[in-house]
Amino acid sequence: MELSGIDRTVIGADSAPSSQSGDNAFAPTATKSKLGARGLQLLSWLAPVVLVVIWEWLAQAGWLSPHVLPAPSKVIRTAFKLAATGTLLNDLGVSLLRAAAGFAIGAAVGGALGILVGFSRVAEAAIDRSVQMIRAIPFLAALPLVIVWLGVGETQKIFLVALGVTFPIYINTVLGIRQVDPKLLELGRVQGLSSLQLIRRIILPGALPSILTGVRYALATAWLALVVAETIGAQSGIGFLAMDAREFLRTDVIVLTIVIYALIGVAADGIARFLERRLLAWHPNYGAAR
Amino acid sequence: MNAHVARLSTASFETGPAVVVSNLVRSYGSRVVIEKLNLRIERGEFVALLGESGCGKTTLLRALAGLDSIQGGRIVAPRRPAVVFQEHRLLPWDSLWRNVSLGLQVPDARERAAEALTEVGLGDRLDDWPRNLSGGQAQRVALARALVQQPELLLLDEPFAALDALTRIRMHELVRELVTNHQPGVLLVTHDVDEAIALADRILVMRHGAIAFEHRVVRGASAPISRSELLGELGVNSHSTH
């Protein structure tokens, strides 16, 4: 979370033309004026690129056993080979579908419960304590029980993802609705809004920053849940690819699956950030300056 | 309890007063805040309500706005009054024109909002966000939002208290102009004696939940009312403030 916060400021500074001209005009430090925002961005990529180059060199020189860690070039070649046979895309598709289905179910359940509890004190009294108690369980600890209930098929995987998604969405939806400024609600009444208009014009937009924070957390837990679920008894998917490769000590395939998990995690975060920028354009902390 | 709030249609009140309050009682539990209060405000009349903190003046305004229930008496208002609060209360997620047209049930909401924003000098900022406004500008948008509803009763709850002195003077001019153009009945709740003298046709001083003093300002008279006289009514020793 903190890392992504730093990342966000970098992007903001880069996309705002005024900050660049300000750098040139005042030149607060010598380094800054020489490198500029683009230069700093390049510099931030230097360390990871150097690390990969060193890794490649160590592997090529025979210092790294391919059974421990294969060369990056070998991983890339494996990726192309698997892609060519179609298995990679197929497994990727299966994994994404599981994640999407689990996310949709979890978000729907968490969102619906959150709205219900957010609006009704009676619903809060009836539901909230139970949800908070279940939430106290690390959802991965429920895995053995889930396997007993549902076996190791698709249902178990989607259920586990949904379980991980439900709670962050629920909590942030309730929080968001409860945090809506009562003075704005009063204004809505003065302006003669109906209950439905009040929800649409004031409560939901007011709760949206919190709900989107929930979506962001949920995407992270969904991915984590999928990795764990696919590691156990999968017949397809990225996790299956990794487990299958383990049997044959194919570290190149294992590293590839790890990289794919990472890339999809980055993509999910990108989606969440895109949603925040689009939907919270009015918000001083998210929106791009107009 | 014989509490009663009547919101009559505009048609039946074409020329009547903006609001009539009779024997209003407002209490929190056993604590009575407003005791048998009577008030009548004509259309186009500007009434300023002064009083110490806790005297019940904001409570009266909230009762007139329909925000709080009343425990006795009768309020007859032609239709839903418009309110401007001390804070602008603009929705940060809506553009200025969307803010101004909030609750406006007409097809040409954007045009109406544009007219109202032009009236307060912000006609070129229709699609701007509230966060880009200064305090005075935001309060002008709040005024536009109140007036776009064409209210017969306009309730102002210390709307200029948070503004700096210069901005406040400009807002006074704007409010006088808007009230002259639209002719609503106005109730301005304020702490500021000078503001009351500058704006009002009639000044009321409230004490212990009742109206204790009333003064009709005659425009153009050599000395409308002395500051010290009003301050005296508010329980401030006028010699120490001069």
Residue by residue, DSSP assigns A251-273 as HHHHHHHHHHHHHHHHHHHHHHH
- The answer to whether residue B58 scores a pLDDT higher than 60 is yes
How deeply is A67 buried, as exposed, middle or buried, from its count of CB atoms within 10 A (0-12, 13-18, 19+)?
exposed
Residue B105 maps to a domain: yes
The stretch A35-50 carries a mean pLDDT of 87
Task: Give the closest of A191, A283, A290 to B103, CB-based.
Answer: A191
How far apart are the C-alpha atoms of A119 and B155, rounded to whole Å? 30
The Cα of B59 is separated from the nearest Cα of chain A by a number of Å equal to 14
* CB-side neighbour CA atoms (13 Å) of B161: 15
* Cβ separation B103–A192 shorter than 8 A: yes
How far apart are the C-alpha atoms of A124 and A253, rounded to whole Å? 48
H-run or E-run covering A105 = helix A87-119
Do B37 and B130 belong to one domain? no
Of the candidates A79, A83, A86, A90, the residue with the CA atom closest to the CA atom of residue A236: A90
Residue B54 maps to a domain: yes
Task: Give the closest of A183, A205, A290 to B93, CB-based.
Answer: A205
Task: Give the closest of A189, A197, A282 to B92, CB-based.
Answer: A282
Do B202 and B221 belong to one domain? yes
Which residues of chain A does B130 touch, with a Cβ-Cβ cutoff of 8 Å?
282
Which residues of chain B does A284 touch, with a Cβ-Cβ cutoff of 8 Å?
131
Of the candidates B90, B209, B83, B201, the residue with the CA atom closest to the CA atom of residue B151: B83
Contact (Cβ atoms closer than 8 angstroms) between residue B205 and residue B37 = no
The stretch B183-212 carries a mean pLDDT of 90
Do B47 and B164 belong to one domain? yes
The stretch B157-173 carries a mean pLDDT of 89
Do B18 and B134 belong to one domain? no
* CATH number of the domain to which B201 belongs: 3.40.50.300
Using pLDDT thresholds of 50, 70 and 90, give the confidence band for residue B7. low
Do B36 and B61 belong to one domain? yes
Do B226 and B188 belong to one domain? yes
Read off the pLDDT of residues A172-214 as tens digits, 9 standing for 90 and up: 999 999 999 999 999 999 999 999 999 999 999 999 999 999 9
Residue B191 maps to a domain: yes
Q: What is the pLDDT of residue B66?
A: 87
How far apart are the C-alpha atoms of A272 and A286, rounded to whole Å? 12
Mutate to test the interface with A, among B62, B102, B145, B158 (most CBs of A within 10 A): B102
Do B17 and B114 belong to one domain? no
ipTM for this model? 0.85
- The answer to whether residue B130 scores a pLDDT higher than 50 is yes
Instruction: Choose the final residue of a domain: B132, B150, B168.
Output: B150
Write down the pTM of the prediction: 0.75
The Cα of B118 is separated from the nearest Cα of chain A by a number of Å equal to 20
Do B96 and B185 belong to one domain? no
Q: How many domains does chain B have?
A: 2
Q: What is the pLDDT of residue A188?
A: 94
**B163 φ, ψ to 5°?**
-95, 155
Q: What is the pLDDT of residue A67?
A: 85
Q: What is the pLDDT of residue A258?
A: 92
DSSP result, chain B: ---EEEE--SGGGTTS-SEEEEEEEEEETTEEEEEEEEEEE-TT-EEEEEE-TTSSHHHHHHHHHTSS--SEEEEEESSPPEEE-SS----TTS-HHHHHTTT---TTHHHHHHHHHHHTT-TT-TT--GGGS-HHHHHHHHHHHHHTT--SEEEEESTTTTS-HHHHHHHHHHHHHHHHHH--EEEEE-S-HHHHHHH-SEEEEEETTEEEEEEE--TT-S-S--HHHHHHHTT--HHHH-
Q: What is the pLDDT of residue B238?
A: 53
Contact (Cβ atoms closer than 8 angstroms) between residue A143 and residue A83 = no
Q: What is the pLDDT of residue B223?
A: 58
Do B178 and B236 belong to one domain? yes
Do B26 and B101 belong to one domain? no
A36-45, A85-94, A188-197, B146-155: range with lowest mean pLDDT? A36-45
Using pLDDT thresholds of 50, 70 and 90, give the confidence band for residue A101. very high
| Chain B interface, Cβ < 8 Å to A | 65-67, 80, 82-83, 85, 87, 89, 91-94, 102-103, 128-131, 145, 149
Read off the pLDDT of residues B16-56 as tens digits, 9 standing for 90 and up: 788 999 888 888 888 888 888 899 999 889 999 998 888 88
Helix A238-247 with A87-119: angle, nearest 10 deg: 130
Range of the domain at B197: 4-81+153-241
Read off the pLDDT of residues B176-190 as tens digits, 9 standing for 90 and up: 989 998 889 999 999
How far apart are the C-alpha atoms of B171 and B148, rounded to whole Å? 17
Residue B64 maps to a domain: yes
The Cα of A195 is separated from the nearest Cα of chain B by a number of Å equal to 12
Domain limits of chain A?
Answer: 2-60, 72-279
Task: Give the closest of B80, B92, B131 to A192, CB-based.
Answer: B80
Task: Give the closest of B83, B94, B131 to A190, CB-based.
Answer: B83
Name the percent of chain A lying above pLDDT 70.
Answer: 87
H-run or E-run covering A42 = helix A30-60
* CB-side neighbour CA atoms (13 Å) of A235: 5
Using pLDDT thresholds of 50, 70 and 90, give the confidence band for residue A1. very low
CATH superfamily membership of A72-279? MetI-like (1.10.3720.10)
Contact (Cβ atoms closer than 8 angstroms) between residue B58 and residue B189 = yes
Q: What is the pLDDT of residue A28?
A: 47
Greatest mean pLDDT among A14-23, B150-159, B215-224: B150-159
The Cα of A289 is separated from the nearest Cα of chain B by a number of Å equal to 10
pLDDT greater at residue B58 or residue B4: B58
Do B222 and B107 belong to one domain? no
Residue B86 maps to a domain: no
Do B77 and B31 belong to one domain? yes
Instruction: Choose the final residue of a domain: B150, B181, B198.
Output: B150
Count the Cβ atoms, other than its own, within 10 Å of residue A121. 9
Q: What is the mean pLDDT of chain A?
A: 84
Name the percent of chain B lying above pLDDT 70.
Answer: 88
Using pLDDT thresholds of 50, 70 and 90, give the confidence band for residue B13. very low
